[in-house]
Each structure stands twice: as structure tokens, then as C-alpha cells.
Amino acid sequence: MNDLTDVSAWCGHWPFRALRPRDPAALKAYLQSQGVRRAWVSALESVLYPDPMDGNLPLVDAVAGDPYFAAIPIVDPSLALWRQDVEECIKRGAAQAIRLTPNYHEYALTDACADACVRFAGEREILVYVQLRMMDERTHHPLMKVAGVSVADLIALAARYPQVSFVVGAIYARDLARLRESPNLSVDLSLVESPLGLRQAVEALGPEKLLFGSQTPLIYYEANLQKMSTMPCDVPPQHLKGIRHGNADRLLSR
């Protein structure tokens, strides 16, 4: 069934793993074979390059004009020229959303630069995607352990900007219920692992806030795809449809 919107796909290189696929064409072919009809995609290199635009712009240009992809540039608001970076991505047809990786860019969501960035996004009606982690911390390279972003700080940030829509990337199942009182926070399911899977996520947060995300190619794709295989008694079909693509499409169209 080709009805998935994958909100957490990546292109490019990651220095700690040999990944396939890497370029947009290969990623698209792979995702289509897995039933994905649209993918939100960011550049892996932008997480680690000193200037994220060195990763953003090649990806934005590579997928320009292809409605299959929604390019989500990574923004580092601790840099002096981040506003110009966002404007440049908008000019090139991207930045319906921006992605923040605070733990890799060494700022906190309590810092003034984070507030400035979210305010800026709100003024332009841009979705803010906060990546809590790139991978499960237990799988990090031993010389590069990076702690996840504070969920409490994210909740507080979202409360300060209720008019801004946020997506939370790579959250753990144990933290889902903490977001229940945050109406402007939605989550991707890429790292939500539990014995009851999707049913537990729906019970914790409600179906309207859940988005299919794979974190491919950093995570084994089929494991995330399996989360969508559920009995109607666990997750009603109308709720599953929203999780598979409806919720994501509504968020980005805003």
C-alpha cells in the first residue's frame, strides 16, 4: 500500500556508518519500494559540518521540482547568519519546515538563539522540527557520545510559542506521555519502541499527533514499517490513515 509519508528521511554521509542509500535518487527508489509516496528529507552532513548550508544547499537543489520530496534544511541558530540561511533555502523552494539539532550544534532550547529562531519561523509560518537525537545513544561511537535534547526544555519552548507547530524527532516511547498537554507538538515514531508499539503511542499521545518516520538510513527501515501493521481493534483504520500520511500532510500544508 503506497500511502506513507515518511517525515524522517536522510540523504548523504554519516561518518560512523556505511549507509545505503545515500543520494536522493537512490533514496527515492528505495522508499517507493517500501510504500512511501512522499518523504521529508534532510542532509546528514549538515548535522556535523561547521556550516550546515554546505549540506543543505546541494540537497535542496538536487530535489528541487520533485514533489516526492520536501527538503527540510538544518538550521544552526547559534551562527551569525542563520536568518540568511533560511531565507536562501526559501528562495530555492525549501523551508516549509526547518530542522534543529541543538545537541550537535551545542546550544540549548533555553538559549536566546533558539527563541529567536522559533519566533522567526512563526512569523513565516514555518514548521519547526526538533531532532532530539540522531540515533539511540547506546549505538553511538565510543568517542562521540551525544546526549539527547532535553524534553522538558522542548515542552517549555513549545509553550512559549503556541502559534508555532513543532515536530519532535526520534523521541523515546517513555517520553510520549509528557507531551500530552502540548497541543502544538507532534512526534515521529522512528525511535518509539515498546511491546505494544503503535497502540501504546496512541494511548499515550492520541492519534492526531503521531507521524510515520523511519530515520532511514540510520535505522533499519523494516522495523519502522512493521509498526504500521496493527489490528483494527488496536488502532482504528481512520486513525492509522492519519498516522500513515494524513497528519503529516496536514502539518506541512499549513
Asked if pLDDT for residue 156 goes beyond 80, the answer is yes
- DSSP symbol at 147: P
| pTM of structure | 0.95
The pLDDT score that the predictor gives to residue 149 is 98
Asked if pLDDT for residue 128 goes beyond 70, the answer is yes
Asked if pLDDT for residue 142 goes beyond 80, the answer is yes
Asked if pLDDT for residue 242 goes beyond 70, the answer is yes
**8 A C-beta contact, residue 211 and residue 240:** no
pLDDT, one tens digit per residue, over 20-74 is 888 999 999 999 999 999 999 999 999 999 999 999 999 999 999 999 999 999 9
Retrieve residue 169's grid coordinates: 524527532
Share of the chain above pLDDT 90, in %: 82
The pLDDT score that the predictor gives to residue 108 is 98
Judged on CB neighbours under 10 Å (0-12, 13-18, 19+), 114 is buried
Using 50, 70 and 90 to split pLDDT, how confident is the model at 122?
very high
Q: Which of 64-68, 97-101, 121-125, 137-141 has the lowest mean pLDDT?
A: 137-141
Tell me the average pLDDT across 109-133.
97
Asked if pLDDT for residue 104 goes beyond 80, the answer is yes
Asked if pLDDT for residue 75 goes beyond 90, the answer is yes
Tell me the average pLDDT across 221-227.
89
Tell me the average pLDDT across 87-91.
96
- Higher pLDDT: 235 or 78? It is 78
The pLDDT score that the predictor gives to residue 195 is 56
Asked if pLDDT for residue 223 goes beyond 90, the answer is no
The pLDDT score that the predictor gives to residue 196 is 66
Superfamily of domain 4-253: Metal-dependent hydrolases (3.20.20.140)
Q: State how far the Cα of 63 lies from the Cα of 73, in Å rounded to an integer.
A: 12
Would you list the domain boundaries of the chain? 4-253
Nearest to 7 by CA among 97, 84, 101, 74: 97
Tell me the average pLDDT across 87-114.
96
The pLDDT score that the predictor gives to residue 249 is 95
- DSSP symbol at 176: G
In whole numbers, what is the pLDDT of the chain averaged over residues?
A: 94
Share of the chain above pLDDT 70, in %: 98
**8 A C-beta contact, residue 37 and residue 235:** no
Buried b (16+ CB within 10 A) or exposed e, 117-151: bbebbeeeebbbbbbbbbbeeeeeeeeeebebbbb
